[in-house]
Structure 1
Amino acid sequence: MKKLIVIILCLISFRSQAQYQIITTVVKKVIKAIDLKVQRMQNETIWLQNAQKTIENELSKFRLTEISNWSEKQKSLYDDYYQELWKVKSTIAYYQRIKELAANQLAMVSEYQRAWKLFQSDQHFKPDEIIQMQRVYVGLLDASAKNLDQIMLVVNPGKTQMTDQQRLEAINQAGDRLEENYSDLKQYNNQNMILSLHRAGDLNEIQTIKSYYGLH
């Protein structure tokens, strides 16, 4: 009987470890995907920031209403160029929003990594609870990755036909969902910290947990 119990416990432990490894692998893949998307967003934002000054300088050169002695052909040529510059300039406006969202996403991943490292070492949580935490994190991080995909789709003029205003609204909507993902993650972390405090045996242990998680 004792041998049977030992075998059963070993099987349960093995199964828990296998589940943990699978979920951890999924999380790593999601975080890698997020990092790549954020890097792409940041690169595009940096390029547009550098381009902004050049565009504004170019725009100041072509004030068609102030130009005289030009043929209609010249005016038409530079009018097209002028309009194209304005389109790019208006695009820069919503890339500022993207820059903010990229920073927000990096903060979310950093918050997950910080809290997850602490929870794994917290003896107040059982192995199956740790696995469940990872499942929740997978859901939150995957949702944020999908919202990043939506943003990248919107900012690609070749894939979506929208006015600049419609594009900015779509970015803001996806951005709001990203911020909600981040808020949900922080709330979930706080709930787990509170649960750990409730499981403390005495006041000294409570103070130790508070110090461990940086709570005041």
Structure 2
Amino acid sequence: MKKAILFFVFTGLALSQCKAQFLGGFFNQQSTKRKIMAEQIADLEIYQQALKKGYHIAESGLNTAHDLKNGTFGLHTAYFNSLEQVNRVVANDPKGKAILDLQTELISLFDKEIAWQQKEKLLQVSELDYIQDVYNNLLNECKKNIDELNLVLTPGKMQLTDQQRLERLDHLYNSMKDKYTFAGDFIAKCRKIALNRQQAIKEKEQLKELYGIQ
């Protein structure tokens, strides 16, 4: 009888210990799972915060890049707009007026010479036509210079620095001066040919009178 009682007592104790171990292990496992889940949730929150922060930085970076781009574009636009303006120093440069004066004088030289040649009739028709052709070609070249001069001196037409505009004026002035110099030399030669013929005609008439040749 005592053995039976002891058997049940020991068996009960063993079952109690097993149950305690089982329940303890179960609760320990649940506690560990909760701990792991809590850590995962914490990690997820940290990740989301980092993601939001990263997105914010990226967004700010894009905005900054956009602002910088717009700012740089604005600077470039302002710079090129400034190149389209004509400084007073350029506008008041005497070479601008000198170019126009040279063209006017060139036209006057040719107009007077052609009128005189037509009146005196010392040159042949083909020679007069040649003079007119040279005159027309020079006028066309002068027009190109004047057109460029207007571009250089008119705001909004060309994107040039003040120095570049002044250099263009120098080039146009020298080009027009060369045309005027050529025109003067050409007309002088035409006049000389005509005067030589005039002199030859006079000498011929004098010889006729001298020798009584009709």
Residue of structure 2 aligned with 1:149, choices 147, 150, 165 = 147
Cα shift readout 1:54-81 (whole Å, capped 9, x = no counterpart)? xxxxxxxxxxxxxxxxxxxxxxxxxxxx
Q: Tell me, what secondary structure is at the counterpart of 1:199? A: helix
- Structure 1 match to 2:89: 90
For residue 157 of structure 1, report the CA deviation from its aligned partner.
3.0
Q: Unmatched 5+ residue regions in structure 2?
A: 1-85, 204-214
Cα distance in 2, alignment partners of residues 193 and 139 from structure 1:
19
- Structure 2 match to 1:120: 118
- Structure 2 match to 1:56: none
- Structure 2 match to 1:163: 161
**In the alignment, residue 166 of structure 2 is paired with which amino acid?**
L
Kept in 1, the 8 Å contact 2:98–2:173? The answer is no
Q: Tell me, what secondary structure is at the counterpart of 2:198? A: coil
For residue 171 of structure 1, report the CA deviation from its aligned partner.
1.2
Q: Tell me, what secondary structure is at the counterpart of 1:162? A: coil
Q: Cα distance 1:129–1:151, how it changes in 2: closer, same or farther (>3 A)?
A: same
For residue 156 of structure 1, report the CA deviation from its aligned partner.
2.3
For residue 204 of structure 1, report the CA deviation from its aligned partner.
5.0
Cα distance in 1, alignment partners of residues 133 and 90 from structure 2:
38
**In the alignment, residue 113 of structure 2 is paired with which amino acid?**
A
The RMSD of aligned alpha carbons is 2.5
Kept in 1, the 8 Å contact 2:142–2:176? The answer is yes
- Structure 2 match to 1:182: 180
- Structure 1 match to 2:105: 107
For residue 200 of structure 1, report the CA deviation from its aligned partner.
3.3
For residue 181 of structure 1, report the CA deviation from its aligned partner.
1.0
Cα distance in 2, alignment partners of residues 134 and 202 from structure 1:
25
Cα distance in 2, alignment partners of residues 164 and 119 from structure 1:
45
TM-score, with structure 2 as normaliser: 0.50
Cα distance in 2, alignment partners of residues 201 and 99 from structure 1:
40
For residue 201 of structure 1, report the CA deviation from its aligned partner.
4.7
Aligned length: 120
For residue 92 of structure 1, report the CA deviation from its aligned partner.
3.6
Q: Percent identity?
A: 25
Cα distance in 2, alignment partners of residues 111 and 125 from structure 1:
18
**In the alignment, residue 176 of structure 1 is paired with which amino acid?**
N
Question: Which runs of structure 2 are paired with 1:19-98 in the superposition (5 Å)?
Answer: 88-94=87-93, 96-98=94-96
For residue 97 of structure 1, report the CA deviation from its aligned partner.
1.9
TM-score, with structure 1 as normaliser: 0.50
Q: Unmatched 5+ residue regions in structure 1?
A: 1-86, 206-216
